[in-house]
């Protein structure tokens, strides 16, 4: 894919997220040539994923949060994505919540949700890992700790995720089930939390590998 086409694809996705009411901010993109994240600011030394400060800035790092950098109009989208292939970052404090975990946990949750009549968008940026989207997530401390203990991240307040079709270090973020397939409808957070508890309980069960002799 040419650089120009890549920017056009990212801009089209940003426009679609904006129309759907999903907040999006420009973020540093992964450069395979340099093997690091770049943000277009020559003096920025931040090499990890980060939101891009809207101004030119005088320091050597971007310090704005994702929530502070959200684009609010189609004109802003066109301005940002004309020059660089910025990643699409979404603050989960004002946008959908996200459960980020291993495929077995996400698949178990998805099965439970579909059985209850809900369809959730699911994305992935690397083999064995997936992200399930829901309405704004405000987990209890008990659930947050239980999830963290199982290697599951709950993105809610003061957090953010990278949306497709951005490119990250592990590859391109892609939809396994797109929000368009779900009619841009998201399952309620309470239902998703219940499905997560089931998935965590199922994952914690001992695996029987053989029968006693």
Condensed to tens digits (0 to 9), the pLDDT of residues 73-121 reads 999 999 999 989 999 999 999 999 999 999 999 999 999 999 999 999 9
Mean pLDDT (the chain, rounded) = 91
Kindly indicate the confidence band of residue 29, based on its pLDDT and cuts at 50, 70 and 90. Answer: very high
Q: What is the pLDDT of residue 115?
A: 97
Question: Residue 191 above 80 pLDDT?
Answer: yes
The residue among 183, 158, 122, 174 whose CA lies nearest residue 13 is 174
CB atoms near residue 87 (< 10 Å): 26
């Amino acid at each position: 894919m040419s650089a120009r086409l890549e920017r056009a694809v990212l801009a089209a996705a940003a426009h679609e997220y904006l129309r759907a009411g999903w907040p999006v901010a420009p973020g540093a993109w992964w450069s395979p040539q340099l093997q690091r994240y770049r943000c277009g600011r020559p003096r920025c030394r931040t090499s990890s994923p980060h939101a891009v400060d809207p101004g030119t800035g005088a320091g050597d790092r971007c310090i704005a949060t994702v929530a502070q950098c959200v684009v609010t109009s189609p004109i802003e989208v066109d301005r940002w994505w004309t020059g660089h292939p910025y990643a699409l970052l979404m603050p989960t404090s004002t946008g959908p919540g996200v459960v980020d975990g291993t495929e077995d946990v996400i698949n178990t949750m998805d099965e439970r949700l579909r059985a209850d009549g809900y369809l959730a968008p699911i994305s992935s940026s690397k083999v064995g890992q997936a992200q399930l989207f829901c309405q704004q997530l405000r987990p209890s401390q008990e659930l947050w700790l239980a999830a963290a203990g199982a290697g599951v991240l709950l993105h809610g307040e003061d957090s953010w995720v990278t949306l497709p079709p951005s490119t990250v270090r592990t590859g391109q973020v892609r939809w396994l089930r797109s929000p368009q397939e779900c009619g841009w409808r998201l399952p309620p957070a309470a239902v998703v939390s219940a499905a997560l508890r089931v998935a965590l309980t199922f994952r914690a069960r001992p695996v029987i590998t053989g029968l006693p002799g």
